Structure 1
Amino acid sequence: MESKLLKIENLKTKIEDKEILKGLNLEIGKGEVHAIMGPNGAGKSTLANTLMGHPKYEIVDGEISFEGEIINELKANERAKKGLFLSFQYPEEIPGVTVENFLRTAKIAVTGKPLKVMAFKKALKEKMELLEMKEEYAQRYLNLGFSGGEKKKNEILQMAILEPKLSILDETDSGLDVDAIRIVAQGVNSLKNSENSILIITHHNKILDYLKPDYIHILVDGKIVKTGDFSLAKEIEANGYEAFRS
């Protein structure tokens, strides 16, 4: 029997007093790439934030289990230690903290193990080369003055360093030109293996052309209304979401 890395059952989430997710079901197995597509306001970013334990999003019903353990009550840092990672749509700028220091601190926090400085520097340099990032980025303050593409590459660099079991990429491709999308997608592809999984939330097919998801899910009004293969993304590109709204 195939083990499911993530299993979401009848998930209902509200923010303030508004219900956003209305009974969402989803299963992700190890080594799989899943994409979630849907119109604006469907609940895509709410799903990402709920999975990561953002305190603003309240679970009112349902269960999220990760590697067989229910994680509904876990805080965001506890989920990170379990192996969940969220790449933000709008990464924060943090003056005074270099990219290198941030990543080393995050790695220590997630693994709970000390890191040798030189070994970390070497690993960081390798991952940055993979993402076609110049070496001097490591000494810049986190996202400060970064272009949109640089911020998104920096998110994938975090993913590369932290080596999560499940990476949730929330519109990592938004606002990127074609070349940046290709580089980000190549970076993501190079990190895929049989033990980790990726959930990408997107409006666009271009990144999916590179990532080749195993499953596409259509999210409308807080529920997944259809699941299919890559051809489903092409169907949406041609006809939009109107057919899925009924």
Structure 2
Amino acid sequence: MSTLEIKDLHVSIDTEQGEVEILKGVSLTIKSGETHAIMGPNGSGKSTLAQAIAGHPSYNVTSGEILLDGEDVLEMEVDERAQAGLFLAMQYPVEVPGVSMTNFLRTAKTALDGEAPSIRTWTKDVREAMNNLEMDPTFATRNVNEGFSGGEKKRAEILQLELFKPKFAILDETDSGLDIDALRVVSEGVNRAQENNDLGNLLITHYTRILRYIKPDFVHVFVDGKIVDSGGAELADRLEDEGYVNYEKTEATA
């Protein structure tokens, strides 16, 4: 059993107008096998939370803690966070010209585990994972995300998730830009990773449609850099019907 703890996290970014605080005291605990969905309006700080956990240098943690099994994540470099078991599926996966998917995946797996995987086993694992995600085998020889559609990029992210076997995945709007078939396939990949590896998920989304496939244990509402409400899966259904207007009014009044 692993635990990811976020304690009173404050994060800011530098702008032309000076430093602006985005996260204003976020506390959250995720355990192995749990799925926590983060929902909220645009600009509420959801992606900032993902980037801060992953260690993006543009996001300044001004106070608070992030602990992985008691270890201080904020003292780790980005690669050390990945080696410790954190995985970020990016909202906008980047293209890496000149680096094939095959080379990228095996190099990354070697860096994460400290040793190269067996060629025979690794080739079988990659082929099986790609087949499960309904990816054309030729994608293995193509450059990372180069020329991929939005849905293909998201499948490639979940391919990494299944092969790298992290402790916790931060899924930043993994459902954006997906048609219904791609959404199903990607969601099934996340569910497999959770079932096979006791994965803990922090799932950031605007919409409940992905939550029909990936069932959340907890739903948290983000407004103005804070968690303003938490509940079970039924909270997502209420948000679908009512939106965030009542929460935004409450924050404005406060």
For the aligned pair, the TM-score class normalised by the smaller chain equals over 0.9
Tell whether 2:227 aligns with 1:224.
yes
Tell which deviates more after alignment, 185-194 or 20-29: 185-194
TM-score under structure 1 length normalisation: 0.97
Deviation at 1:196, TM superposition (A): 2.0
The equivalent of 1:32 in structure 2 is: 34
Deviation at 1:136, TM superposition (A): 1.0
Tell whether 2:201 aligns with 1:203.
no
Percent same amino acid among aligned pairs?
50
Provide the secondary structure at the position in 1 that maps to 2:192.
Answer: helix
The equivalent of 2:174 in structure 1 is: 172
Deviation at 1:4, TM superposition (A): 5.8
Deviation at 1:96, TM superposition (A): 1.1
User: How many residues get paired?
Assistant: 244
Provide the secondary structure at the position in 2 that maps to 1:72.
Answer: helix
Superposed, 1:15-26 pairs within 5 Å as 15-16=13-14, 17-26=19-28
Match of 2:186 among 161, 184, 187: 184
The equivalent of 1:9 in structure 2 is: 7
Provide the secondary structure at the position in 2 that maps to 1:217.
Answer: strand
Deviation at 1:116, TM superposition (A): 2.2
Match of 2:74 among 40, 62, 72: 72
CA contact 1:94–1:142 (8 Å) conserved in 2:
yes
The equivalent of 2:118 in structure 1 is: 116
Superposed, 1:8-157 pairs within 5 Å as 8-16=6-14, 17-157=19-159
Provide the secondary structure at the position in 2 that maps to 1:55.
Answer: coil
CA contact 1:4–1:27 (8 Å) conserved in 2:
no
Tell whether 2:242 aligns with 1:244.
no
Aligned-residue RMSD, C-alpha: 1.1
What's the CA shift string for 1:189-240, capped at 9, x where partnerless?
Answer: 1111373201110011111110011000001111111110111111111111
Aligned letter for 1:104?
R
Q: Separation in 2 of the partners of 1:229 and 1:28?
A: 14
Deviation at 1:160, TM superposition (A): 0.7
Unaligned runs of 5+ in 2: none
What's the CA shift string for 1:82-115, capped at 9, x where partnerless?
Answer: 0000001111111111111101011011111122
Deviation at 1:118, TM superposition (A): 2.5
Q: Separation in 1 of the partners of 2:32 and 2:90?
A: 22
Q: Separation in 2 of the partners of 1:32 and 1:97?
A: 34
CA contact 1:84–1:164 (8 Å) conserved in 2:
yes
What's the CA shift string for 1:30-73, capped at 9, x where partnerless?
Answer: 11011000000000000000001111111101111111112112
Q: Separation in 2 of the partners of 1:8 and 1:151?
A: 29
Q: Separation in 2 of the partners of 1:18 and 1:4?
A: 33
Tell whether 2:160 aligns with 1:162.
no
Aligned letter for 1:114?
A
Provide the secondary structure at the position in 2 that maps to 1:152.
Answer: helix
Q: Separation in 2 of the partners of 1:221 and 1:137?
A: 40
Provide the secondary structure at the position in 1 that maps to 2:213.
Answer: helix
Provide the secondary structure at the position in 2 that maps to 1:211.
Answer: coil
Aligned letter for 2:71?
E
Aligned letter for 1:92?
V
Match of 2:238 among 235, 240, 243: 235
Aligned letter for 1:37?
M
Q: Separation in 2 of the partners of 1:59 and 1:211?
A: 30
TM-score under structure 2 length normalisation: 0.94
